[in-house]
Amino acid sequence: MRRSDIAIPVTMFVLALASTVSAQKTTRIHSGQAGSPHVRTEWAIDGANISVEYGRPSLKGRVLGQSVEPIEGQEWRIGADEATTLKTNKPLRFGTLAVPAGTYTLYAIPVKGQWRLILSKETGQWGIPYPRGKDLGRVPMTMSKPAKPVELLSISIDDTPDGGTLRIEWGTTAASVPFSVG
């Protein structure tokens, strides 16, 4: 077998594999009023274009749930300054919660060591106060610990065979929730 007979199928396989990997792009938006950098992170997951815009507060020696949010039993804006937004051009499903294409504000509430992700229909507001009565819905998140402590709040999406997993990491806390597209 000639080398060129092998090279073409291998090249096509590598290109096909590369096209299935989700692309992530992060853009800095501004510095924020208290110095927390604000970013927009974008992903392509199963034909959906999903973005999250949020402020990335730093722990600066503070402890989650004690000297800094999230506080047990209180809705938290997941970030700093303006409310954190999730935009999607395709419908998503977080567990039993159907999320139509559109823009939503993300909040979380820790209760008894577990977090619930809140998707709010209210958008364009400052992060607080929490807009009561505007929820699209709430879904439980899986709690874990990141491989190493995370100084700046981080929101990411992992591409999975069944869609994706939205992941929030800060300090020694990681909360995640799987979703599907369509």
CA dihedral sign of residues 125, 64, 37, 143? negative
CA–CA separation, 159 vs 139, rounded Å? 19
Cα-based angle 170, 143, 169 (whole degrees, multiple of 5): 20
pLDDT at 12 over 50: no
Does 110 reside within a domain? yes
More confident residue, 150 or 32: 150
Q: If we measure between CA atoms, which residue out of 138, 91, 100, 90 comes closest to residue 117?
A: 138
pLDDT at 22 over 60: no
Residue 66 belongs to domain spanning:
3-141
65 pLDDT above the threshold of 80:
no
Give a yes or no: residue 25 inside a domain. yes
Tell me, what's the pLDDT at 181? 98
Token representation of residue 46: 């199963």
SS3 assignment, position 3: helix
Residue 132 within any structural domain of the chain: yes
CB-based contact 115:70 (threshold 8 Å): yes
CA 158/CA 168 separation, integer angstroms:
11
Judge whether 20 lies within some domain: yes
Helices (H) and strands (E) in the chain, counts: 1, 13
Decide if pLDDT at 35 tops 60. yes
Which value, in Å, is the radius of gyration of the alpha carbons in the chain?
18
pLDDT category at 7 given cuts 50, 70, 90 is very low
* Residue 84 lies inside a defined structural domain of this protein: yes
How are beta strands 84-88 and 24-30 bridged, if at all?
Answer: unpaired
Per DSSP, what are the bridge partners of residue 143? 175
* Residue 139: predicted pLDDT: 98
Count of structural domains within the chain: 1
In-domain check, residue 172: no
In a domain, 168, yes or no: no
Sequential DSSP letters for 71-103: PTTS-B-SSSSBPEEEEESS-EEETTEEE-SEE
